[in-house]
Amino acid sequence: MPYVFRKYYPWRNILFVLSEGALIFIIINCVFLSWAGVSGYRELLPLYIFRAFVVTFVFQVCFYFFDLYDHTIIPLFSDHTLKVLQTFGIGCIILAFVYYMFPLLTISNRVFWSGMFAVGLVILLWRFTYFRILEHRIFDQPVALVGTGQLAGQIVSAIEEKKDSGHKIVAFVGDKQSPVVTDGLPVFSDAGGLQPLCEKGLVEKIVLALDERRGVMPMSELIQYKFMGIEILDAVGFYEKLTGKIMVERVNPSWMLFSEGFYVGRLKEMLKRTMDIAASLCMFLLSLPVFLFSSVVISLESSGGVFYRQERVGQKGRVFSIIKFRSMYDGSEKSGPVWAEAEDSRVTRFGKFIRKTRIDELPQLLNVLRGDMSFVGPRPERPVFVSDLEKKIPFYSIRHAVKPGITGWAQIYYPYGASEKDALRKLEYDLYYIKNLSLGMDLATIFQTIKVVLLQKGAR
């Protein structure tokens, strides 16, 4: 598991979460020690440690679900403080429920509240310090960008928008007049100008972001820098690792051919299928009351069946019928299929609710059990749209190399697609998922999906 989360989440984020967890755990134990004394603390050491672990776990789960571990954008500290305090309040409510269910874990009021005060104070100080580090890009890896065109601009934007990327641009090679160039940074006309920076250790990575490489690749200089220990990266690969998506419009068939990934072995496929069946059965049993309630309300609200079946394109282009709770009025698509809209007049009142909460997707568990779908994968699209999108969007058919899913990497980071442009943006995430597919990535996607569903983000 450590490798899994290191691969899909930046190492800095993982270190931050582990460090904050250690801080909470240590502070709670210090409070126990101060109130119980050395002898009393030592006598009940296992119980105190377990109680501190429960408190730490509850608060960190709350922080995760309320996006307090998302540091791509540095918030105003006053707003962040308020959000931390609100999340602490929710954590206290959850702990009260835990203590009611398991009295042995209960912490006395004076110990609990003094511990909460100490934890809150230290966490806010810790986060203030961390945000200053992110803001000034301290400890970020220095990157030189070869290129000042459109591709370079995309790389610059990706680094600037992601404050916790762990990278900072320190030099450019290209046109000094380009709008891509950041003010105050050196711009060299050729790659040879980077040599002094590389020799002094002021550049650790060089990213090739040339819009056109023919005849302008500084091959001899790059080989020299590589022997100096400088990491040389292609812009497409660097962008992929930085953003969790692939530049579909920048890759070509040869890149697809020689790239690592894009292969699911038999063992991995078998394990994925086993997880699909287990997760779907558990989810179906847990959601059975919701199934029954939704079925009754849908049948009472409007005429038509409870379920809605629609043709979708699955693995290897095979067409299957996807099952969903009906959220539209009966006969809404008599004039033909259209993209969904933000305020769709075809959707019933209860339909809006089940779409927002993703309840309308629950019957797809049956598709997973039948083998038409997986729990995690690209969302299946309708045949009429697929035939059109395959003509307009490069590599779109690659989505069908794996089974479609109820949830997916694209659904997390690009919540809803209702146009050809959205389909292209989602494909960037879908290709990343297919290229890097693993059980660890599926678990990471499921965790993120739970958060999205609970916070009701991205549904339409």
What DSSP letter does each residue of 15-35 carry, written as one string?
HHHHHHHHHHHHHHHHHHHHH
Helix and strand totals (H; E) in the chain: 18, 9
What DSSP letter does each residue of 251-311 carry, written as one string?
--HHHHHHSS-----HHHHHHHHHHHHHHHHHHHHHTHHHHHHHHHHHHHHSSS-SEEEEE
- For residue 196, the model assigns a pLDDT of 93
H/E segment holding residue 439: helix 439-454
Domain residue limits, the chain? 2-135, 141-243, 266-329+344-454
Cα–Cα–Cα angle for 188, 190, 196, rounded to 5 degrees? 65
Q: Which of 43, 436, 62, 90 is nearest to 263 (CA)?
A: 436
pLDDT values of the chain reduced to their tens digit, one per residue, 460 residues:
333 444 445 677 888 999 999 999 999 999 999 999 998 899 899 999 999 999 999 999 999 988 899 888 888 889 999 999 999 999 999 999 999 999 999 999 999 999 999 999 999 999 999 999 988 888 899 999 999 999 999 999 999 988 888 899 999 999 999 999 988 899 999 999 999 999 999 999 999 999 887 767 888 899 999 999 999 999 999 999 899 999 998 888 888 888 888 888 888 889 999 999 998 999 999 999 999 999 999 988 888 889 989 999 999 999 999 999 988 877 656 555 555 555 566 788 888 888 888 888 999 999 999 999 999 999 999 999 999 999 999 899 999 999 999 999 998 888 666 678 888 999 999 999 999 998 888 988 988 888 877 776 544 4
DSSP-based helix, strand, coil % in the chain, nearest 5: 60, 10, 30
Q: Which of 405, 343, 412, 397 is nearest to 374 (CA)?
A: 405
Q: In the block, which residue shows the tokens 């307090």?
A: 68
Quote the CA–CA distance of 243 and 15 in Å, as a whole number: 19
CATH code: domain 141-243 is 3.40.50.20
Quote the CA–CA distance of 23 and 106 in Å, as a whole number: 21
Q: What is the percent of the chain where pLDDT is above 90? A: 59
Quote the CA–CA distance of 77 and 79 in Å, as a whole number: 5
Counting every residue written for the chain, the total comes to 460
Residue 258 phi, psi (nearest 5): -95, -5
- For residue 5, the model assigns a pLDDT of 41
* Mean pLDDT of the residues in the chain: 88
